[in-house]
Structure 1
């Protein structure tokens, strides 16, 4: 089965307003125990903070300024920022809200950004903002399925695709999708390491 047929079989489609609550829940659960978010978002009421953080990034950045695909009505979701849209005004607007969610981990968040910033592409890229699959539907290929449209759109546009992950298991997953590690970045404050990965158009 080719990628397009596989994608259709899993009913991958652009996100709609009706999908947002489930997609936010999916991302909140997916990142509740993720090493990076554990390190950079305050521990008190952590899961609620992560959920709100993901909600802001999805609804205020990715949906209006990027591209988002879902499967299973939001139980799998992948969100990208794209080079022909500038989300800077939205980031400035939600910055104070994100700061409240980060809470007493602001120093860790700032350090993590400083550690990785030198390894981010300077040219226009499709940047994978977030991706998650609800635990109850994992193992069915949905993560790959919701990522493929963005990868294919970047390929058609002649743009690299870029992502960052703090999970070594994710590195192997993304390598199977054609990404390669461009930087293995240790944390300068004892937090999780981050792998920067890039997929160039063929």
Structure 2
């Protein structure tokens, strides 16, 4: 009998490759990600490296949970970070930015760096004491099986037990109802690429980013 899908804490050396491939598949049709990586060949051959570095960086915090299939291959990953990141994480962040410039060129790296710091500023303004769901994604061939809910469960349960709120940025409007079912509420919608020339000249806003917040559940006592 085949084993059921299993949720567990990530093992970085073992899981980084399959987790990054799962995320690449998950974000294939994500409006924001594809705005940065519109070329299909670049997406297919290089974007897994973009996710690989983030899995390594966030996984080191000990808050990343994955769901694996019956063959032990990661098909879903939820990357979290604490409200206040440890100092050593900034070393990884600067390494990640250098990686972006080296692998994706100046223009793309500059744009990615800007949106990263813009979103960080929003997070620290709106949810300074919340656990941050940085990335959640399920491989397209594994969607619809509850993997995302399984991957979220450990940190949502921990947040409830510790009475800590949660925060995320959804880059795909299709995913907002999923997060709402898990207790997140919309607090703001932003259009961070609106000033890109390709959008501005056509009077377009570009992809929307939905900021969402999950309150600490009220006591039932």
User: What is the TM-score normalised by the length of structure 1?
Assistant: 0.84
Secondary structure of 1:67's aligned partner: coil
Q: What is the CA–CA distance in structure 1 between the aligned matches of 2:109 and 2:84, rounded to whole Å?
A: 30
Give the match for residue 20 of structure 1: 16
> What is the CA RMSD across the aligned residues, in angstroms?
2.3
Q: What is the CA–CA distance in structure 1 between the aligned matches of 2:150 and 2:214, rounded to whole Å?
A: 17
Secondary structure of 1:121's aligned partner: helix
| TM alignment of 1:45-64, pairs within 5 A | 45-59=42-56, 61-64=57-60
Distance 1:105 1:20, change over 3 A: closer
Give the match for residue 159 of structure 1: 164
Distance 1:24 1:50, change over 3 A: same
Give the match for residue 209 of structure 2: 194
| TM alignment of 1:116-195, pairs within 5 A | 116-122=119-125, 123-187=128-192, 188-189=194-195, 190=199, 191-195=206-210
Whether 2:97 is the aligned partner of 1:95: answer yes
Deviation at 1:26, TM superposition (A): 0.4
Deviation at 1:137, TM superposition (A): 1.7
Q: What is the CA–CA distance in structure 1 between the aligned matches of 2:47 and 2:64, rounded to whole Å?
A: 19
CA contact (8 A) 2:173 2:208 kept: no
Structure 2 residue corresponding to 1:109, chosen from 101, 105, 112: 112
Deviation at 1:197, TM superposition (A): 0.5
Deviation at 1:164, TM superposition (A): 0.6
Deviation at 1:91, TM superposition (A): 0.6
CA contact (8 A) 2:100 2:109 kept: no
User: What is the TM-score normalised by the length of structure 2?
Assistant: 0.77
Stretch deviating more after TM superposition (97-106 or 186-195) = 97-106
Residue-pair matches, total: 193
Deviation at 1:116, TM superposition (A): 4.0
Q: What is the CA–CA distance in structure 2 between the aligned matches of 1:35 and 1:181, rounded to whole Å?
A: 18
Q: What is the CA–CA distance in structure 2 between the aligned matches of 1:177 and 1:70, rounded to whole Å?
A: 17
Where do 5+ consecutive residues of structure 2 fail to align?
200-205
Where do 5+ consecutive residues of structure 1 fail to align?
1-8
Secondary structure of 1:45's aligned partner: helix
Structure 1 residue corresponding to 2:32, chosen from 30, 36, 53: 36
